[in-house]
Structure 1
Amino acid sequence: MAKRKKIIVIEAQRIFRRNKHGMDFVALEMIRGLQQLDTFNQYIIAVGPGQDRCLSETENFTIAILESSNYLIWEQILLPRLLTQVKADLLHCTSNTAPLWISIPLVLTLHDIIFIEKKIGSNSSMYQNLGRIYRRWVVPRILNKVYKVITVSDFERNNITRAFPRLRDQVITIYNGVSTRFKPLPFCADPRFSALEKGSYWLLLGNTDPKKNLKNTLRAYAYYLQESQYKKKLLLADLDHTHLDKLLAELDLQIIKDYLIVEEYIPHDLLVQVYNKAFAFLYPSIRESFGLPLLEAMACGTPVVTSDTSAIPEVAEDSVVYSNPHDITSIGSAMLQLENDSMLYDHLIVKGLARSARFDWHQTATKTLNIYESIY
């Protein structure tokens, strides 16, 4: 019997926005991998409006821009309407949620189920709280009708199957990849960072989500400054000055401000330069379903100080320095250990490059396509 061509709709609502989050990059890179891999099936990539046209159409990949900035209307009205118009055979939703009323097989990428777990911290924005409520209401309902669930680590797969035992045979782990642009560079061309001496700073992504552990990391950095003979600066990426000033006042850490370099926004394509010039990358997160930034840093030849929690040990194995994210002294001591042990530092560069090389988007796309092909 001849192989039947499928019409596959992939939801990638937010990939055209300028300030992308982790799930957006995962969807974008997975789609790019499918473009290189599959020239047979017909794909419609459903996106929302945005200025960053980061994906190009190919002969069998069409982009459909659904014009609404309202997430609920976009997902529950416009996306199902598109499925009917194109007579889709399959829908793949890439960012945890999906339409409630569809009549075709659904593949859902469920990055995590943090939304049903006890909240970490209490300083979430109204937008984050509304998103949590929406996911708590929608996700259990769509899981009743899903064909397959893709998640990004065995750690998260175990979480999902404990919470939803009926999905045990439907949840599949497919690891994220690392873009080939993350690699060691001989020099950094961007003038914003050319003045920074290589190895002169620690790098921290300044995400204010409580699970990212920003407060404890700043406290640990203050401990590091007390104990270090080198006192390297800390580059905070994606954190605005106003929020930082409030945070330093709250923590009574104004004394460290002169050691901080603040970049309110660094485009993703420039992160490779920032990783390359950093002495090391700080990633003491409390809860991660995967942890893509630590692999990006490792792929650039930059050692990592991170947490011994959640999916991080599964992804990083023995290629990083681990710490207890709840213990300020543990984080600070891990920083000092890396700074004072040059043999360890050089060893982790080699280990990190080798470990990160095992994660690539071609593998992610291949395993995803296998799921598509298993339908019908």
Structure 2
Amino acid sequence: MDVDAHRRAIRATGGRVGRGLTDMTRRLRVGLSAHLASWGTTYRSAGVSRYVQNLIPPLSREPSVDLIAFVGGDATPPDDTADLDTATIIRTTLPTHRPFVRIAWEQALSGAACAAYGVELYHGPAYALPIAGRRPMVVTVHDLSFERHPAMFNRGNRLYLRLMTRLAARKARRIIAVSEFTRDELRATLGVPPDRVDVVHNGIDTRFRPGARDEVEAFRTAKSLPDRFVLYLGTLEPRKNLVTLVRAFARGRSEWPEGTALVLAGGPGWQYQAILAEIDRLGLRDRVIMPGYVNLDEQPLWYSAAAAFAYPSRYEGFGLPPLEAMACGTPVVCANESSLPEVVGDAAIQVAPTDEVGMARAIGSILRDDDLRRRLSEAGRDRAARFSWTAAAAATARVYERAFEAKR
């Protein structure tokens, strides 16, 4: 991949040029690596992709930021200028949805891209930075699950994340952690001084709100869902601790309201077969519904239709699904470890992730007690309202200013 050719390509295929390149007001020109953003409805639009694409619109409205977002050749940002606001979107011709191509762009070509557009500070939103880059840099670290639970990653992905996160932690002038928990993990695991880390909580997409009753019931009918079900929504993988949730369901179902089902919604992840094996071992195939990946537009309806949301994950850097469920008014039971207590506060029932008996009792109390369900629903909505992408963008802009002014 020739650097000069790539420079010509990004100029030729650059997206809309908004306020960022025309306004004479002095603002810091920030290059955001947005290659992980897809703006689609497939599994690729989850996780870090949502972090990036939700951050761009409010970040571009920050008065101190002149945002240049570099996106991949297959990304399809919406044409609606209100959605992306005034960000300058630069599209490469390269297929950076492929990991090796994305890494190559980041390490070999990002410097030319940043120079072509006068970028003063570079933000890597997911663990990695260009090793040879000389301009001030900021990196976001979402969690250190690849350090704490290495067996849950394939070898190549684990080694890449370990190497790049360590290099980026040394290279960055400032590090953004998405929770206090992740900041503590950076100190304990990588020895990063806490005063180099800024905590910026994630926000919640405004589409997550209680669904209208008629719409929810129509959705329930269309999906052939039972009147009462317990929902999990997320990737089906070992660290989400779904085997324990299945066992809790097996323990509690005889005491829960008749006909209660368990819905495990999400795409299959690393080693998900263990979940299927446990469902079969316990003879629960007829009571566990597995709809597969749920696109973003449908997720609020799944949350709104559920009687309770269960999230027994052993390890989270932040944990958006419990907050999204709360925003939809659904009572939440979650694990009492990692970042989850920090995120849900007192608005959810917290249970040790190994305690399948306690989990069954907690879910059962929500299913049987109308007053408890109503209190948790109200508390959850209030809690979720504290988290917004506008606030996250404002805090991120302050990190940029600190990084640019810092001396190395």
Q: What TM-score, normalized by structure 2, do the two folds share?
A: 0.83
* Deviation of the 1:60 alpha carbon: 4.8
Q: In the alignment, what sits opposite 1:82?
A: 113
Query: 2:333 maps to which residue?
Result: 305
Which residue is 1:361 aligned to?
389
Q: Deviations over 1:248-301 (max 9, x none)?
A: 335643521111222122111210111111111111110111111110000000
Bigger drift between 147-156 and 27-36 goes to 27-36
Higher mean C-alpha displacement, 311-320 vs 47-56: 47-56
CA apart distance, 1:335? 1.1
Match of 1:174 among 197, 200, 215: 200
Asked if residue 45 in structure 1 is aligned to residue 69 in structure 2, the reply is: yes
Partner of 2:290: 262
SS in 1 for 2:123: strand
Q: What is the alpha-carbon distance in structure 1 between the residues aligned to residue 91 and residue 352 of structure 2?
A: 45
Question: For residues 249 and 168 of structure 1, what CA distance do their matches in structure 2 show?
Answer: 42
Number of equivalenced pairs: 368
Q: Residue by residue, what CA displacement relative to the aligned partner does 1:221-261 show, whole Å, maximum 9, x if unpaired?
A: 11122332424112221246xx9777433564352111122
Deviates most, 2-11 or 350-359: 2-11
Alpha carbons of structure 1 residues 138 and 223: separation in structure 2 relative to 1, 3 Å: same
After superposition, the Cα gap between the structure-2 partners of 1:41 and 1:157, relative to the gap in structure 1 and judged at 3 Å, is closer
The match for 1:137 is 163
Distance in structure 1 (CA, Å) of the matches to 2:371 and 2:401? 48
Partner of 2:244: 216
Q: Which residue of 1 aligns with 2:127?
A: 96
3-state secondary structure, aligned to 1:314: helix
AA partner of residue 318 (structure 1): D
Aligned to 1:337: 365
- CA, structure 1 residues 189+51, in 2 after alignment: closer, same or farther (shift >3 Å)? farther
Structure 2 residue aligned with 1:23: 48
Partner residue of 2:58? Answer: 33
Q: Work out whether 1:235 is the aligned partner of 2:266.
A: no
Find 1:115's aligned residue among 134, 146, 160.
146
Aligned Cα root-mean-square deviation (Å): 2.6
Q: Render the CA deviation track for 1:70-121: whole Å, top value 9, x for unaligned.
A: 23213212323312322310001111112111000111111112222243xx
Q: Does 1:62 align with 2:92?
A: no
Q: Could you tell me how far apart the structure 2 residues matched to 1:169 and 1:244 are?
A: 38
- Aligned partners of 2:185 and 2:293: how far apart in 1? 33
Do structure 1's residue 348 and structure 2's residue 373 form an aligned pair?
Answer: no
Tell me which residue corresponds to 2:310. Answer: 282
Q: CA deviation at 1:142?
A: 2.1
1:160 matched to 2:186? The reply is yes
Unaligned runs of 5+ in 1: none
Please say if residues 284 and 307 of structure 1, whose CA atoms lie closer than 8 Å, have aligned partners that are also in contact: yes
Quick one: distance in 2 between partners of 1:259 and 1:250?
A: 13
Q: Which residue of 1 aligns with 2:176?
A: 150
Distance 1:273 1:250, change over 3 A: closer
Percentage of matched positions with identical amino acids: 29
Q: Distance in 2 between matches of 1:299 and 1:72?
A: 36
Of 310-319 and 187-196, deviating more is 187-196
C-alpha contact (below 8 Å) 1:66/1:78 kept by paired residues: no
Question: 1:52 deviation in Å?
Answer: 4.2
Where does residue 34 of structure 2 map in the other structure?
12
Distance 2:157 2:397 in 1: 29
- Are the aligned partners of 2:243 and 2:274 in contact in 1 as well (CA < 8 Å)? no
Partners in 1 of 2:192 and 2:356 — Cα distance? Answer: 40
1:166 Cα deviation after fit: 4.7
How far, CA to CA, are the matches of 2:204 and 2:234 in structure 1?
Answer: 21
Contact persistence 1:47–1:66 (CA under 8 A):
no
Partner Cα separation in structure 2 for residue 210 and residue 249 of structure 1: 13
* Bigger Cα displacement from structure 2, 146-155 vs 56-65: 56-65
CA distance in 2, matches of 1:248, 1:334: 24
Cα separation, 2, equivalents of 1:97 and 1:190? 44
- Name the SS of the counterpart of 2:387 in structure 1: coil
Tell me how far apart the structure 2 counterparts of residues 64 and 204 of structure 1 sit (CA, whole Å).
36
Deviation string 1:197-217 (CA, Å, 9 cap, x unpaired) is 685211112523321112111
2 CA distance for matches of 1:292 and 1:304?
Answer: 12
**C-alpha spacing 1:232/1:343, structure 2 compared with 1 (3 Å):** same
Q: In the aligned structure 2, how far is the partner of 1:135 from the partner of 1:246?
A: 25
Residues 66 and 79 in structure 1, CA contact (< 8 A), matched pair in contact too = no
Shift in CA distance, 67/298, structure 1 to aligned 2, threshold 3 Å: same
The answer for unaligned runs of 5 or more in structure 2 is: 1-23
Residues 349/247 of structure 1: CA separation in 2 closer, same or farther (3 Å cut):
closer
Give the whole-Å Cα distance in 1 for the aligned partners of 2:76 and 2:227.
32
